[in-house]
C-alpha cells in the first residue's frame, strides 16, 4: 500500500499522507466500516482507497474495527494491515445489495467486537449514463446499493448502539452539484443527505449522532479509473490546486466518529478542496 498523493513537492501535511501520529481519539470504540476494502490496482504507486484509509486510521486512533466488504480478500487485506500496525480488526464478507446481508453484517460485527458504537457506510456503485443510457435495472441496482443498503444497515445498527455512538454515511459532491452524467448515482448520493437528516432526527434523543461526508475529486484507485473514462476529471480546476487523498476523507470521518464532534449531527461535511463552494 502506498500513501502516494501525486504531490511530488512533498508539501502535503502528514495527515494528508497518512503519516501523522495517532492521538487516541477513538480509544475503546468498536467501529464497523462497510466498504473497507480498496479496489485492486496494477499501478506501482496505487493510492489507498477511502474505506481502507478510514479503517486504518480508526484503528490507529484506538478503535477495534470490523472491516466489511463484498470481497472477502479485500476485507482480509485491510484487517491484516491493521494487525501489522498492532491494531485489532475482524474481516467480514458482506454484499449489501442483499437486504438480509445488511442485517447480518451488523450482527457479525457485534459478535466479533462485543458491541458497536461507530458505523461507517462507504459503499457505492455507478451504473448507466444519461437518461437514455440508464435502464430500469441499472437504476434499481444503483439505488439498492447506494441508498437502500444504508437505510437497512442503519436500521439494524441503531437498536444495538448506545448513547454517544456515531454513524457516518459517505456521499459525494455529486449529491449537491450535477456533473457525473449518471442520474442514478447523483440521485442516490443526494438521497444520502436526506437519509442522514431523517435518521439523525430519529436517533437524537437516544444520543446517537448521524452525519454524512461528501468527498470531491479524491485520488483513489476508483478515482483513477473514473479519470480514465473521463479524462476531463483530472483537469477540473480545484481551488486548492489538487485532488484530495483518501487520508483526508478518513480524517474527516474519524472527526465525526469521535467525541470531538459530540455536538455535531445531521450535518453534511464537504471535503472537496473548495470545488463546490468557490467555483
- Catalytic site positions: 185
Q: Do residues 50 and 249 touch, judged by C-beta distance below 8 A?
A: yes
Residue 23 CB: number of other CB atoms within 10 A?
Answer: 13
Grid coordinates given for 105 = 453484517
Q: Do residues 239 and 272 touch, judged by C-beta distance below 8 A?
A: no
Q: Do residues 68 and 87 touch, judged by C-beta distance below 8 A?
A: no
Q: Do residues 239 and 275 touch, judged by C-beta distance below 8 A?
A: yes
Q: Which candidate, 135, 112, 138, 114, places its Cα nearest to that of 125?
A: 138
Cell 445531521 sits on residue: 266
Amino acid at each position: 500500500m502506498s500513501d502516494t498523493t501525486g504531490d511530488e513537492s512533498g508539501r502535503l501535511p502528514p495527515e494528508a499522507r497518512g503519516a501523522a501520529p495517532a492521538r487516541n481519539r477513538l480509544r475503546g470504540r468498536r467501529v464497523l466500516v462497510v466498504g473497507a476494502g480498496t479496489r485492486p490496482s496494477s499501478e506501482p504507486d496505487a493510492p489507498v482507497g477511502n474505506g481502507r484509509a478510514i479503517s486504518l486510521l480508526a484503528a490507529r486512533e484506538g478503535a477495534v474495527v470490523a472491516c466489511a466488504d463484498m470481497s472477502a480478500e479485500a476485507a482480509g487485506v485491510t484487517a491484516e494491515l491493521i494487525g501489522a500496525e498492532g491494531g485489532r480488526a475482524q474481516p467480514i464478507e458482506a454484499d449489501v445489495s442483499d437486504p438480509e446481508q445488511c442485517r447480518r453484517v451488523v450482527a457479525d460485527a457485534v459478535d466479533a467486537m462485543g458491541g458497536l458504537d461507530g458505523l461507517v457506510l462507504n459503499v457505492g456503485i455507478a451504473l448507466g449514463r444519461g437518461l437514455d443510457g440508464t435502464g430500469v435495472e441499472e437504476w434499481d441496482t444503483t439505488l439498492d446499493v447506494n441508498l437502500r443498503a444504508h437505510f437497512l444497515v442503519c436500521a439494524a445498527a441503531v437498536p444495538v448502539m448506545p448513547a454517544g455512538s456515531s454513524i457516518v454515511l459517505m456521499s459525494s459532491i455529486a449529491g449537491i452539484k450535477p456533473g457525473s452524467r449518471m442520474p442514478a448515482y447523483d440521485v442516490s448520493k443526494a438521497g444520502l443527505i436526506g437519509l442522514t437528516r431523517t435518521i439523525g432526527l430519529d436517533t437524537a434523543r437516544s444520543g446517537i449522532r448521524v452525519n454524512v461526508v461528501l468527498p470531491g475529486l479524491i485520488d483513489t484507485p476508483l478515482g483513477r479509473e473514473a479519470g480514465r473514462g473521463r479524462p476531463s476529471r483530472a483537469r477540473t480546476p480545484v481551488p486548492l490546486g489538487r485532488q484530495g487523498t483518501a487520508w483526508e476523507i478518513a480524517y474527516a470521518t474519524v472527526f465525526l466518529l469521535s467525541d470531538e464532534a459530540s455536538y455535531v449531527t445531521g450535518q453534511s461535511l464537504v471535503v472537496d478542496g473548495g470545488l463546490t463552494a468557490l467555483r
